Amino acid sequence: MKMKTLWVNPTTMDTLLHNVALSNALKCYADLGHEVTLFSIRSKDASKIRYPQVRSVLVPLRYIPLVSSFMFAVVLFFYLPILVIRQQPDQVVVNPDLSLLSSLPSLFIGKFKKVKFVLDIRSIPVETKGFSGFQTKFWYFISLIITRKWFDGLTTLTSSMKGEICRDFKIVPDGVGVWTSGVSDSLFNPKSVSAARSELRKKYDFDDKFVVFYHGIFTATRGLAETIEAVKLLLPAHPDIIFFLLGTGPYANNLKNLVQR
């Protein structure tokens, strides 16, 4: 059955690294024949949404930690009800953050339009230090409490995450779906390696090596330092291992120093 989905996500689509994961997920969803509209944020360049089959409503906000998410929530509070009434989607998907609270007026409007509201959880709180970490944990907790009371369901990344959430928040498992991460079988097809990629393999000494690859933000809570220590222990017996990190973040210099030591 084809569905019309309105997807709300406060990711700055033209600046943040993880916009690629969201864009590709929505593209795959649209490729299945579903109609998808993304309600999100852009800083400058709206062309970062490269998939014409995914409609987008991008709020122009300069990325400022905490501030931009608050401003997006304000816009969402007033504009999402209009989108729900105009588009009459089958479902609205939201994240466990401040934007979920702003979606509550739309939720009650959606009840009259038979629109289902779904919470999508890709990760439990990881960056939990400082004020930003407190906010992440707070909105995660509040989102699941609201979901248990008023939402039609939620989706998680893994079965174990589903079990943990159902246990901790007393949510009926029947209303929880598991939507695992995927991989592009064309982009990661070793038979279609281009000349440019072959040059990169030579540049970084990847040929005939076992590459452990990390792509994302560099922080102290991602297990990156522990992986570096593990590679050190493995290298004497397995000298063909390379740990390759692609990304940026506040922990980058610490990782460089650890590798040098």
pTM here is 0.80
Give the CATH fold of the 4-178 domain: Rossmann fold (3.40.50)
What's the pLDDT tens digit per position in 143-156?
A: 999 999 999 999 99
What token pair was written down for 21? 């994961």
In this model, does residue 133 exceed pLDDT 90?
no
User: Quick check: do 4-178 and 190-260 share a fold?
Assistant: yes
The domain limits of the chain are: 4-178, 190-260
In our burial notation (b when 16+ CB lie closer than 10 A, e otherwise), range 145-169 reads ebbbeebbbbbbbeeebbeebbeee
* CATH pick for 190-260 out of 3.40.50.720, 1.20.810.10, 3.40.50.2000, 3.40.50.300: 3.40.50.2000
What does pLDDT average to over the chain? 87
In this model, does residue 16 exceed pLDDT 70?
no
What's the pLDDT tens digit per position in 189-202?
A: 877 777 777 888 88
Residue 179 and residue 196: Cα distance in Å, rounded?
A: 33
Q: How many CB atoms lie within 10 A of CB 236?
A: 7
3-state secondary structure of 227: helix
Non-local CB neighbours of 149 within 8 Å, separated by 6+ positions: none
Angle between helix 104-113 and 130-150 (nearest 10)? 20
What's the pLDDT tens digit per position in 22-52?
A: 888 888 888 889 999 999 888 876 665 666 7
